[in-house]
Structure 1
Amino acid sequence: MEYQRVFIDFWSEVEQSVQENRFAKLTMAKTIGKPNLKNIFLRPIYAEDGFKVLLKIHYRSKDSEDEEKEMTLKQAFGILEPHLKKSFLSVLLFTTSKDVVFKINKKGAGSITENPPTFRDITQAKK
């Protein structure tokens, strides 16, 4: 199955974990080649005015300063999705009930696997 459709299913898991207050962290990992971009993280911000995430873009080079931005989950999707298959081959969703892993194989097909949870508690990002 094409990775884009599978990623939409994966993102539904992300949205559901937010609705159920189980979202702990999301990480884009397994870079393609040796780009300066090392990984991208989303950390939760559960606030009275609604759910937001702190997006952190981490670079390998000390010359490149890491970036942090507070945004909605929908805005984060717009930033993460273009990096699939260009910069990253996997995305890991950590929730308090399970870990969900999205991967793209060499043929461009996407897959989702579930594992026992890594996080028992949610640590909110510092605003």
Structure 2
Amino acid sequence: MPYQDEFVLFWDQVRESIHDRRFAKLTMAKTIGKPDLKNIFVRPIYSEDGFKVLVKLRYASKETEDEEKELTLEDAFEFLKSHLKTPFSTVLLFTTTKDVTFKINKKGAGTITENVPTFRDVTQAKTDF
């Protein structure tokens, strides 16, 4: 299955984990090539105004400061989708009940695998906005 279609199925699991308050963290990793952007981390922000996420961009270069953005879930989906394959080939969803890994292989096909959970509790992002 093309990775874009598989990523939509993966994102359904992200939505479900948020709805059930099991979403702990999401990480984009395994870059293709040597881009300056090293990782993207997504942490939950549950508030009275609704659910948002804190997206943190971590750079390989020490001269480049990390960036943080507070986004809605749909904006986060579009933002993360734009970083798939170029440069990231792996997205890890950490929930309190399972870890879900989305990978893009060299042929451009996406796969989803599940493992035992890394996190037991949900830790909200701390925002300084």
Report what 1:37 is aligned to. 37
Alpha-carbon separation, structure 2, partners of 1:110 and 1:70? 27
Structure 1 position 33, deviation (Å)? 1.1
Counterparts of 2:111 and 2:38, CA distance in 1? 22
Specify the alignment match of 1:64 in structure 2: 64
Aligned Cα root-mean-square deviation (Å): 0.6
> Which ranges in structure 1 are unaligned for 5 or more consecutive residues?
none
Residue 39 of structure 1 and its aligned partner are, at CA, apart by: 0.5
Report what 1:85 is aligned to: 85
With 69-78 and 110-119 compared, the bigger mean Cα shift is at: 69-78
Which stretches in structure 2 are left out of the alignment for 5+ residues? none
| Count of aligned residue pairs for this structure pair | 127
Q: TM-score, normalised by structure 2?
A: 0.97
Aligned counterparts of 2:91 and 2:97: Cα–Cα separation in 1: 17
The Cα shift of 1:49 comes to 1.2
Q: CA deviation at 1:48?
A: 1.3
- The TM-score with structure 1 as length reference comes to 0.98
> Taking every aligned residue pair, what percent have the same amino acid on both sides?
69
